[in-house]
Amino acid sequence: MRRLIIGDIHAHYDMLRRVLDEASFDPSSDTLYSVGDLCDRGGRPLETIRFLMGLPDFRPVLGNHDAWLEAYLSTGTPDPAWYGWDGGDDTVRKLEAVDHEEKARMMAWFLSFPVVRIEDDLIVVHGGIPSGYDEEALVDISHDDRTVPLLLSPERGRLEPLLWDRSYLFSAMNDAGIICEGRIPEHRVGPLDTSRKVFIGHTQIRPECVPFISRRYHLHAIDTGAGSGKGPLTVMDIDTGEYWQAEADGVRL
C-alpha cells in the first residue's frame, strides 16, 4: 500500500484523473490524502466531488474553498467573496442540478474533513501553520469533531487561520533564499518543533511549478498552480518524495 497526497485540485477533474493515472494510483490499495480546495475554477466540481467521495480511502483536510462550499450547502447563500470572483458562482450553478439528498450527503462529507490531519509521521493542513500554533495545539485541533460549517462555527477564529496563513511557507522559502512571487512573510515563523512531515497547499509554487521542500521546516508545499491554470496538478508519494504531474486543461482564468 502506498500513501499519496495531491495538491489543490480546484475542480480540474480531467487533470485529477490524468495525474492519478501517471502515479498508477490503485484505489483498492493506495491511500490518497489531499491538502484541500477540491472545488471551483476548473469547471467540473460535481465530477470531482463525486469521484473523490467514491474512493475507499480518501483523507482530505478542509481548504478555504471547501469551507465556502460547505457553508453554502448549509445555508443556501453563497459568501460574496467566493461567489463574485473566486469560482464559487460556477460551482453554485452546477449544484442547481443536484437534488437535496445528494447535497446533504456532500455537506456531511465536507463536515467530516478535519482542519488539521495528524498521523504518526504526518501533519496535513491547507494554508500553513500560523505564529503561535505549536504541535500540541495542532494535535488538539485535529481531534475537533466539526458539526457545523467552519465559517458558521464559534471556533472560526481559532481554526480559519490554518486555511489562509502563508507565513510558515514564506518563512521557509525565505530561509532557503527564495521569495515566492515577490512575497515575504508578514510574520516570521520558525520551524515547527516536530519530527513529522508537514504538507500544505493553498499557495501556488510558481514559476517553478514544482513542490517546495524544506527539511529544516519539515515542509512539503505541493500546490503547483493547477487552480490558476498556470501550472500542473501534483501528486506526491509521502514516503519516497517521488511526484507526478498533469498539465493544465482548459481552465477559466
Alpha-carbon span 216 to 231, nearest angstrom = 26
Alpha-carbon span 180 to 187, nearest angstrom = 15
Digit-coded pLDDT (tens) for 139-154: 999 999 999 999 999 9
Which residues, including other chains, have CB under 8 Å from residue 159's CB and lie 6 or more apart?
A: 115, 141, 144, 150, 153
**Domain 3-246: which topology?**
Purple Acid Phosphatase; chain A, domain 2 (3.60.21)
Quote the cell numbers at residue 235: 501528486
Find the mean pLDDT for residues 17-33: 98
Strands (E), 45-201: 58-60, 116-119, 122-125, 197-200
Domain assignments of the chain as residue spans, ordered by start = 3-246
Burial classification of residue 131, based on how many CB atoms lie within 10 Å of its CB (0-12 exposed, 13-18 middle, 19 or more buried): middle
Q: What sign for the dihedral angle of Cα 94, 48, 123, 201?
A: negative
Degrees (nearest 5) of the Cα angle 250, 251, 253?
135
Q: Look at residue 249 and tell me whether its pLDDT is greater than 60.
A: no
Q: Look at residue 244 and tell me whether its pLDDT is greater than 50.
A: yes
pTM (2 d.p.): 0.95
